[in-house]
Structure 1
Amino acid sequence: MPAGTRLARQIAISFAIIFAGILIARVIAPSDDSPKYELSNSPGEIATNGNLIGRELARADLIATNGEKVSTESLRGKPLILNVWYSTCEPCRRELPVLAAAAKSNAELVRFIGVNIKDSAEVATDFAANYGVQYELLLDPLGEFISSSRISTVPMTLAVNADGIVVDQVAGEISAEKLGKLIAELVK
């Protein structure tokens, strides 16, 4: 093969490799409309998909532990602390007693709901009972709620006003102090 033909072939192959690399990079790179992960500088909080504060609670159908369908729209009317959790999540385990105590002492002011994203009704109910939880438990077995809420971290606690608007959120384990502040914010 003449030297000129070999050089032309090497140049063509080089351009093909560069073009393929650019094409692959464009395909795997996140687009502008992909979820943006935000890091929190607050202790106990971790990455979360975006800020839910000021937004309406996502519309989704959840399942009560008795099997009945519950729409998130039906949760309006009373301030709400909504906690997303599951039994094998270690921070979820640590915060359950905090949530249970707050729910018990604030039952007249604020509604508490736990949304379990992984466990069966039986496992969720038994597990939560072992930690003193007496508030309502709902299941999100298909991930409809967390998907439409763009929640990527668990535990996640949302403070929702009576109109169904998220007024605050905590990604990661919630402390008794922070939970108290959320409740105070909801009932002011």
Structure 2
Amino acid sequence: MKNKRLRLFMRTVILCIIVIAVGYTIFQVVKSKEAVKEGDSAPNFELKNLQGHEVELKDLRGKGVMLNFWGSWCKPCEQEMPFIEKAYKNKPANVEIYGVNIGDSNLVAQKFMERVGATFPTLLDHDKDISKAYALTETPTTFFIDKNGKVIKMTPTMTSAEEVSHYLNMIAP
């Protein structure tokens, strides 16, 4: 009887140690996944656009890049689209603007862009891998990346075309 209790106690202790070790490991992984912030290098990615062509961020080095993460379900995203579109039509040379759709199908993303009258290129993050790599905490979020791939500005919802243009001028080479 005494040996039985001792074995049960030892098994319980070992199980607790394993649970604590696994919990600590998970905590460290989650904790190390910090959001991309100003001054960081923008994580590289490769995504397809609405036409099915691959776009890789590193191929855009030498240009300023604006990445606007959005979803069709996001009202603030819809409200800022006209500002981005106006800035897109008047953007500086050597600056690229991309919308990055989070999780919608090609058809839903295309119909949304048509409905809001946006013509700037849209990339499709179907599996949300890129939004996870950037560790987004809210939508919309926009990253302004300089010619060297460094995040110069990160901002949530934008309130005017002038604001968008101001940030585009900051990243223009």
The TM-score, its normalising length taken from structure 1, stands at 0.70
Larger radius of gyration: 1
Q: Distance in 2 between matches of 1:178 and 1:23?
A: 52
Match of 1:40 in 2: none
Residue 57 of structure 1 corresponds to which residue in structure 2?
42
Partner of 2:91: 107
Give 2:5's aligned residue: 10
Partner of 1:103, secondary structure, is helix
TM superposition shift of 1:113 = 0.9
Q: Secondary structure at the match of 1:16?
A: helix
Distance 2:125 2:96 in 1: 18
- Distance verdict in 2 for CA 1:23–1:85, change over 3 Å: same
Runs of 5+ in structure 2 lacking a partner? none
What RMSD in Å do the two structures reach over aligned CA positions?
3.1
28, 46, 49: which one pairs with 2:23? 28
1:1-188 pair list within 5 angstroms: 5-6=1-2, 9-31=4-26, 33-36=28-31, 49-104=34-89, 106-108=90-92, 110-147=95-132, 149-153=133-137, 154-170=139-155, 172-176=156-160, 179=164, 182-187=167-172
Shift of 1:115: 1.1
Contact 1:100 1:131 (C-alpha < 8 Å) held by counterparts: no
- The percentage of counterpart residues that share the same residue type is 25
CA distance in 2, matches of 1:175, 1:36: 32
- Give the 3-state SS of the residue equivalent to 1:84 in structure 2: strand
Query: How far, CA to CA, are the matches of 1:180 and 1:107 in structure 2?
Result: 7
Cα-to-partner distance string for 1:30-49 (whole Å, 9 max, x where unaligned) = 45751437xxxxxxxxxx83
Amino acid at match of 1:127: F
- CA deviations on 1:85-124 (whole Å, 9 max, x unpaired) are 22123442333233333334x4235432101132233321
Contact 1:60-1:144 at 8 Å conserved across structures: no
Mapped partners of 1:65, 1:11: distance in 2: 64
CA distance, structure 2, for counterparts of residue 174 and residue 22 of structure 1: 48
SS at match of 1:63: strand
SS at match of 1:159: strand
Note the alpha carbon deviations across 1:18-63, whole angstroms, 9 max, x for none: 33123112213345751437xxxxxxxxxx8333433333222211
